Every structure is written in structure tokens, then in C-alpha cells.
């Protein structure tokens, strides 16, 4: 590829014998080699602004997406600034890359996609010894994305048998009041209950006022950490149970969990992946069912109105729990993980934990096991209303994988898309999610 820069701020990129116009505007994208960690956005001295030219960032297959790019210093466009750029399908190899100068600090890049999916444009600027990056992602008919995984013939039989095995284990709840976490309206407890193997630990919050209440099960994101419980929702009049998945107490020192992640449960999504009966997530998925069992045993529960909620791994677990347990009446999902795990076997992004990109996991028995644990296959059996929210810039739980699951769901569903978000949520997303859950549970 050859880049020609013209002094009036207009540039042309020559690619495969074709010339496409590059004009100064605002769009930021991140090359694979310098991808920043997904996190809440932060201010920086040099600002790179990147956005597709369609307000909703959505295009039809075959349309050309124009990425507008601006580079600012002190909120003023920088003159004669050099940028590096990459345009790539979601987590795949770039289809465009190179460098160019923006004479007036603004420009455009163009690209199209010939099938449903996402194109991510990443911009990098080096200035005064620092590297700045930003990116944006255009969607091409995302509601037409279909999953790559398939449903095993014995999927329902396998999970029916697993739940029957769990049902033979008494719940054996142990409950400890946590006075320091109680409020004027809410009692807070640490609880632990028996699972298929080991225990499930969590934080339970119950309104103090006598009565019968709806409930919400909050399932966790990836990793291990202490939990505080969802006191805010409990103060609205909803029983909340926030669980961990690793069979250890959830009120220990944070350092303990860091040590676990570095040793005992390091890379836990691959533990026993070659055996569907012993795979790590079997106990995790059944822990979610056991948490539902426990909620139904509470005298304060109204016996019917139950939602499941979570983000990332917790988003995937919410889909899985709703598909696995018909006692769930509503679900709330942020950027779900564990979706369409076989994507990388079909030259497109797969869901977190990004299996089948290496020789260690890309084996027939592990691929087959994944189908029994893929959120897409549980999504096929969801029958209750759900509220979903995510963004197009997420590289932890790629939007390609998320839409694979969402598009499979035939139950009533709402999707609040905030295209620019990565693996985080804006306050508006969280408010909409909690308000939706509260309306459903408290109606």
C-alpha cells in the first residue's frame, strides 16, 4: 500500500491499484499491536476522535463506511500530524493499514464489508514520547449475524441429567449476618449453599420490612474478587443474591483472590475442557441453578418473581441460567461472554474466553465440549423477556459473538446499544438496566 499526502490536508491511499480519498475528520481505531485495555474512558492531553459517518454506526452489507478522524491538542486540531491506522473485521487481521499525515488535523478512511459483521478502525498518534490510540467500529447488518456453533443432539438430555444430579444434593444453607453491611432498610448476609461439588458463596440482601418480595440473582463477571451485595436494589424492595462461582468465601482479602487467579484457578475456562462431564463450567452453571433453589427456599420471597442479571461472564451466565432454569422470569444482560465460542474456527471473532485460537484448545474433543457450554445454545431456549445492552467497540466480548446469541433469542427482548462503549457501561446504561428490572419485578 502506498500513501500520498497533499499539502492542503487531503490525502489519497493507494491500495491494490485503487485510490480512495482520505480527508481530515474524527475517528479512532486501535491496531492489534497497540490495543489498549478495555476500561472506562479517560481524558488525555492529545485527543483522537473517531466515528463512522452514520449516526447509529450501522450500515447495510456492501455499503461503504466512512470513518471521520480528528486529532486534537488542547481541543484544537493539530496540523501536520502523522497517524498510523488499521481497519479490520472484529478481532481479525487488518484489511487496511498504513500511515499518513493530516495537514489540518482531520481526515477520513473508507472501507466496506461484504457480509454481516463489524469493521473496526484504529488510529494511533505518537507525540512527545507518548503513544495515543483510539478506535471506532462500524456495524454491517448486525441483526443478521448467525452463530457458528451448533446444538448437540443430546444437549437437553445432558443438562436435564445434570440438574437431576444436583437436585439430589441438599441445599444446606449457612447464613451469617454482616452487621457492617446492613442499612436502615436492608439486612445483609453472607450465605453459602451446597453445590454439585463444593459450595456456592454469595451476599444476600433482604428488605427488613416484613412481607413477600421479588428477587434478583446477580451472577459474576470473570475472575475472582470479594463482593458487596446489591444493597441499592434491595432498598427498592427486591431480594438480591450476588454469588461467586469458585467455591470460596466472597468476603476475603482481595489479595487472596489475586493469588487464586495466579495459581489454583489460573486460566480456569480451559480446565477439563476435553471432557464435558468434568469441565470447570459445569459446576459453575449448576451453581446458578442452586442459587435459584436457595432463593425459592426463602420465606421472604414471593415464590414467583425472579430475575437474573450480570455483565461479561455474568452476562453469559444470565443467558445460560434463563435458558437452563424456567423459574427465571426476566433477565438483564450487559456485553455477554461465553457466546459463539467456535467463531475463531470460522475466521471470525469468537466470544470470551477466546478459545480455539491456539493448538492447546483447537482439538476435536474440546471443540465438542464447548457446544454444551456455549451461551448461544442456551439462548435458543429462553422464553422470558430480557433487557440487553452493549457497545460495538468491545474487544473483550466482541460484538460479533454477542449478536450471535442475541439474534438466536426469540423471546421478547430489548437492546440498548451504545456503539462507542468498550467493555464498560455508561451510567445511563446502568440506570436503564436497573429501572427495567425494577419495573418488571415490582409491577
Is the CB of residue 90 less than 8 Å from the CB of residue 348? Answer: yes
Is the CB of residue 84 less than 8 Å from the CB of residue 99? Answer: yes
The predicted structure's pLDDT at residue 40: 66
Burial class (CB in 10 A: 0-12, 13-18, 19+), 365: exposed
Q: Please state, in angstroms and rounded to a whole number, the distance separating the CA atoms of residues 349 and 56.
A: 22
Which class in CATH covers the domain with range 155-442? alpha beta
311 phi, psi to nearest 5 deg: -130, 150
Burial class (CB in 10 A: 0-12, 13-18, 19+), 169: middle
Q: Please state, in angstroms and rounded to a whole number, the distance separating the CA atoms of residues 71 and 86.
A: 16
The alpha carbon torsion through 228, 229, 234, 236 (nearest 10 deg) reads: 60
Asked whether residue 71 carries a pLDDT value surpassing 60, the answer given is yes
CA 133 to chain centre: 22
Q: Please state, in angstroms and rounded to a whole number, the distance separating the CA atoms of residues 25 and 70.
A: 5
Mean pLDDT of 115-132: 97
Share of the chain above pLDDT 70, in %: 91
The predicted structure's pLDDT at residue 22: 33
pLDDT band at 23 (very low <50, low <70, confident <90, very high): very low
DSSP at 242:
E
Asked whether residue 1 carries a pLDDT value surpassing 60, the answer given is no
Share of the chain above pLDDT 90, in %: 90
Helix (H) or strand (E) holding 126: strand 117-127
Q: Please state, in angstroms and rounded to a whole number, the distance separating the CA atoms of residues 140 and 414.
A: 19
Average pLDDT across the chain, whole number:
92
The predicted structure's pLDDT at residue 37: 39
Asked whether residue 116 carries a pLDDT value surpassing 60, the answer given is yes
Is the CB of residue 406 less than 8 Å from the CB of residue 355? Answer: no
Catalytic residues: 312, 394, 423
Q: What are the pLDDT digits (tens) for 222-251? A: 999 999 999 999 999 999 999 999 999 999
Asked whether residue 17 carries a pLDDT value surpassing 90, the answer given is no
The residues facing 331 across adjacent strands are 308, 386
Domain ranges of the chain: 2-141, 155-442
Q: Which homologous superfamily does the CATH classification assign to the domain defined by 2-141?
A: Macroglobulin (MG2) domain (2.60.40.1930)
Among candidate residues 311, 260, 363, 374, the one with its CA nearest the CA of residue 38: 311
Among candidate residues 440, 384, 441, 435, the one with its CA nearest the CA of residue 412: 384
The domains spanning 2-141 and 155-442 adopt the same CATH topology: no
Asked whether residue 10 carries a pLDDT value surpassing 90, the answer given is no
Mean pLDDT of 172-179: 98
Is the CB of residue 295 less than 8 Å from the CB of residue 169? Answer: no
Q: What are the pLDDT digits (tens) for 244-280? A: 999 999 999 999 999 999 999 999 999 999 999 999 9
pLDDT band at 387 (very low <50, low <70, confident <90, very high): very high
Among candidate residues 217, 203, 211, the one with its CA nearest the CA of residue 237: 211
Q: What are the pLDDT digits (tens) for 317-335? A: 999 999 999 999 999 999 9
Query: Which pTM does this prediction carry?
Result: 0.90
Return the percent helix, strand and coil in the chain, to nearest 5. 25, 35, 40
Q: What are the pLDDT digits (tens) for 73-110? A: 999 999 999 999 999 999 999 999 999 999 999 999 99
The predicted structure's pLDDT at residue 39: 58
The predicted structure's pLDDT at residue 42: 72
Amino acid at each position: 500500500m502506498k500513501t500520498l499526502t497533499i499539502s492542503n490536508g487531503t490525502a489519497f491511499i493507494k491500495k491494490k491499484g485503487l485510490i480512495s480519498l482520505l480527508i481530515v475528520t474524527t475517528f479512532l481505531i486501535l491496531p492489534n499491536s497497540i490495543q489498549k485495555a478495555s476500561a472506562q474512558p479517560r481524558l488525555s492531553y492529545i485527543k483522537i476522535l473517531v466515528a463512522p459517518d452514520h449516526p447509529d454506526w450501522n450500515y447495510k452489507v456492501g455499503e461503504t463506511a466512512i470513518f471521520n478522524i480528528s486529532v486534537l491538542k488542547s481541543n484544537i486540531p493539530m496540523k501536520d500530524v502523522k497517524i498510523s491506522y488499521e481497519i479490520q473485521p472484529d478481532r481479525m487481521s487488518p484489511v487496511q493499514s498504513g500511515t499518513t499525515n493530516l495537514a489540518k488535523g482531520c481526515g477520513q478512511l473508507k472501507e466496506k464489508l461484504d457480509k454481516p459483521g463489524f469493521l473496526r478502525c484504529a488510529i494511533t498518534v505518537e507525540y512527545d514520547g507518548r503513544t495515543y490510540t483510539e478506535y471506532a467500529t462500524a456495524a454491517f447488518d448486525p441483526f443478521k449475524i448467525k452463530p457458528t456453533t451448533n446444538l448437540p443432539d443430546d444437549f437437553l438430555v445432558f443438562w436435564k441429567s445434570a440438574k437431576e444430579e444436583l437436585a439430589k444434593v441438599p441445599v444446606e444453607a449457612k447464613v451469617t449476618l454482616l452487621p457492617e453491611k446492613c442499612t436502615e432498610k436492608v439486612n445483609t448476609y453472607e450465605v453459602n449453599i451446597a453445590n454439585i461439588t463444593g459450595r456456592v458463596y454469595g451476599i444476600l440482601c433482604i428488605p427488613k420490612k416484613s412481607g413477600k418480595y421479588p428477587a434478583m440473582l446477580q451472577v459474576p463477571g470473570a475472575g475472582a474478587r470479594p463482593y458487596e451485595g446489591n444493597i441499592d436494589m434491595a432498598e427498592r424492595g427486591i431480594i438480591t443474591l450476588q454469588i461467586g462461582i469458585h467455591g470460596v468465601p466472597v468476603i476475603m482479602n482481595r489479595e487472596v483472590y489475586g493469588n487464586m487467579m495466579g495459581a489454583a484457578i489460573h486460566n480456569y475456562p480451559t480446565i477439563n475442557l476435553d471432557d464435558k462431564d468434568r469441565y470447570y463450567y459445569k459446576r459453575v452453571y449448576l451453581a446458578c441453578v442452586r442459587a435459584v433453589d436457595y432463593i425459592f427456599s426463602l420465606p421472604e420471597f414471593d415464590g414467583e418473581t425472579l430475575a437474573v442479571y450480570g455483565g461479561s461472564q455474568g452476562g453469559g451466565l444470565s443467558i445460560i441460567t434463563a435458558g437452563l432454569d424456567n423459574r427465571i422470569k426476566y433477565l438483564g444482560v450487559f456485553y455477554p461472554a461465553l457466546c459463539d465460542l467456535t467463531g475463531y474456527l470460522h475466521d471470525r471473532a469468537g466470544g470470551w474466553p477466546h478459545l480455539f485460537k491456539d493448538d492447546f484448545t483447537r482439538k476435536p474433543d474440546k471443540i465438542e465440549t464447548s457446544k454444551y457450554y456455549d451461551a448461544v445454545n442456551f439462548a435458543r431456549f429462553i422464553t422470558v423477556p430480557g433487557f440487553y445492552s452493549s457497545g460495538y467497540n468491545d474487544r473483550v466480548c466482541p460484538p460479533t459473538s454477542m449478536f450471535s446469541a442475541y439474534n438466536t433469542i426469540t423471546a421478547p427482548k430489548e437492546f440498548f446499544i451504545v456503539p462507542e462503549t468498550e467493555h464498560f457501561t455508561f451510567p445511563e446504561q446502568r440506570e436503564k438496566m436497573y429501572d427495567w428490572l425494577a419495573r418488571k419485578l415490582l409491577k
